[in-house]
């Protein structure tokens, strides 16, 4: 705190200079710069306690609010007689304000500041469970938001804070690389064995790859979503149907649009080559399959582009049109910078493991397909984990991008 320095001792005009405050119990946080008028308002609203600290520039030191000229404002917050009980008129006024605020939240459910105010009023009315629910809702709207986290630390007990999701920003996957192996096994071997067996069986039926692909894609979206919510185990299949809009319709619409954006140019190019005779006399899709350049380019685009699409699908404010808009996807990648590059590299490495396993075992009849199905199912889970962790770490920045980008 000494970093505030002696130079600030020259700030003697309370109406023209910024002061610094530290909320009670927040000694490890950065001091907040505030004008004197703002500090007076905070005291009147009960947002600063008597034990909160203010940097006194004249004395070049920190002082408790109770030891400054603001003392009458914080003293007025306490009841005149300790055992007199709450004033019924005050309780009625706060109850009316709380009920009005809840109606406003119903009309504006994504306004986290209204929800935070509701949490403060619930605390004032002694309804701690409701306050915890409001804090949780505020964090769901703006995960890891510094102000929400600070208010939760100031007002909730450690046990109450432990129940909150999106309270502590998760670490990057590479800080605990072992989770890439332990996460797929968290629900036991049958969780992997059954899907692998289904995929293996379906690959023997002509045309069923068009079913397997979407099923694995939907599973990946669920893995990403549950990981972003902080869940330590992979999702159960029924989660896809719990919310059809976010679990089925939105992912499939996004997949169709993005697939058209990424692959349609290659299909058109292959069609032109077949029509002009520049390629061998095969169908359009067959020509693509026989072109290593096209396959490598399309695969690279998929690995580089699709993780950002998965991230945005779970961010508040990104509807189908926004998620499928390349401009928003590129903006999100820029926001995530180095962490996105590292995450894509991990996913590429996981896919390389699957590719090598499928290639090496592919020379053995039946066994090759079995290994490809098993390794593919296994690799899908840590890939979703990587993307989900990325989404949870950057949810606040990307939510801001959705609103102002």
Identify the domain boundary among 75, 101, 134.
75
User: What average pLDDT score do residues 1-28 get?
Assistant: 53
Q: Is 63 helix (H, G, I), strand (E, B) or coil?
A: strand
Most confident of 1-15, 42-56, 215-229: 215-229
Stated as kind and residue range, the H or E segment containing 20 is strand 18-22
Residue 168 lies in a domain: no
End-to-end CA distance of the chain: 36
Question: How would you class 366 by CB atoms within 10 Å of its CB: exposed for 0-12, middle for 13-18, buried for 19 or more?
Answer: exposed
User: What average pLDDT score do residues 350-371 get?
Assistant: 91
Whether residue 235 sits in one domain with residue 154: no
Whether residue 379 sits in one domain with residue 247: yes
Rounded CA-CA distance 194/372 in Å is: 14
What is the per-residue pLDDT across 300-348, written as a single tens digit (0 to 9) for each? Answer: 999 999 999 988 888 766 788 888 889 989 999 998 888 999 999 999 9
Whether residue 254 sits in one domain with residue 130: no
Rounded CA-CA distance 22/37 in Å is: 16
pLDDT value of residue 404: 66
Whether residue 181 sits in one domain with residue 208: yes
Q: Residue 344 in contact with residue 307, Cβ under 8 Å? A: yes
Residue 138 structural domain: 88-162
Rounded CA-CA distance 399/318 in Å is: 8
Q: Residue 146 in contact with residue 397, Cβ under 8 Å? A: no
Query: Global pTM?
Result: 0.62
pLDDT value of residue 374: 94
Q: Residue 169 in contact with residue 140, Cβ under 8 Å? A: no
Count up the domains in the chain and report the number. 3
């Amino acid at each position: 705190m000494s970093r505030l320095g002696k130079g600030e001792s020259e700030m003697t005009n309370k109406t023209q200079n910024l002061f610094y405050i530290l909320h009670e119990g927040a000694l490890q946080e950065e001091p907040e710069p505030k004008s004197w008028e703002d500090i007076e308002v905070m005291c009147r609203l009960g947002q600063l306690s008597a034990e909160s600290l203010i940097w006194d520039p004249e004395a070049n030191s920190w002082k408790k609010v109770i030891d400054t000229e603001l003392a009458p404002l914080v003293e007025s917050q306490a009841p005149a007689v300790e055992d007199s009980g709450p004033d019924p008129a005050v309780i009625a006024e706060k109850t009316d304000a709380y009920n009005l605020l809840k109606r406003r939240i119903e009309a504006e459910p994504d306004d986290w500041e209204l929800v935070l105010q509701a949490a403060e009023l619930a605390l004032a009315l002694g309804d701690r469970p409701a306050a915890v629910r409001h804090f949780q809702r505020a964090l769901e709207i703006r995960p890891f938001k510094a102000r929400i986290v600070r208010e939760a630390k100031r007002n909730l007990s450690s046990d109450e804070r432990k129940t909150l999701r999106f309270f502590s920003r998760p670490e990057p996957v590479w800080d605990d690389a072992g989770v890439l192996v332990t996460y797929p096994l968290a629900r036991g071997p049958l969780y992997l064995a059954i899907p692998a067996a289904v995929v293996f069986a379906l690959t023997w039926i002509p045309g069923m790859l068009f079913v397997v692909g979407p099923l694995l894609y939907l599973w990946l979206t669920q893995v990403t979503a549950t990981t972003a919510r902080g869940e330590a185990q992979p999702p159960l299949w029924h989660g896809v149907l719990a919310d059809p809009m976010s679990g089925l319709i939105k992912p499939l619409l996004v997949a169709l649009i993005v697939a058209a954006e990424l692959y349609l140019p290659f299909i058109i190019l292959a069609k032109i080559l077949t029509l002009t005779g520049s390629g061998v006399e095969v169908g359009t899709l067959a020509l693509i399959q026989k072109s290593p350049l096209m396959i490598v380019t399309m695969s690279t685009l998929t690995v580089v582009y699709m993780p950002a699409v998965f991230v945005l699908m779970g961010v508040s404010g990104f509807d189908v049109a926004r998620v499928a808009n390349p401009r928003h996807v590129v903006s999100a990648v820029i926001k995530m910078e180095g962490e996105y590059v590292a995450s894509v590299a991990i996913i590429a490495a996981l896919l390389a493991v699957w590719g090598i396993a499928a290639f090496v075992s592919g020379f053995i009849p039946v066994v090759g397909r079995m290994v490809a199905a098993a390794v593919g199912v296994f690799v899908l889970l840590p890939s979703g984990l990587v993307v989900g962790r990325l989404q949870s770490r950057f949810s606040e920045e990307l939510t801001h991008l959705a609103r102002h980008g």
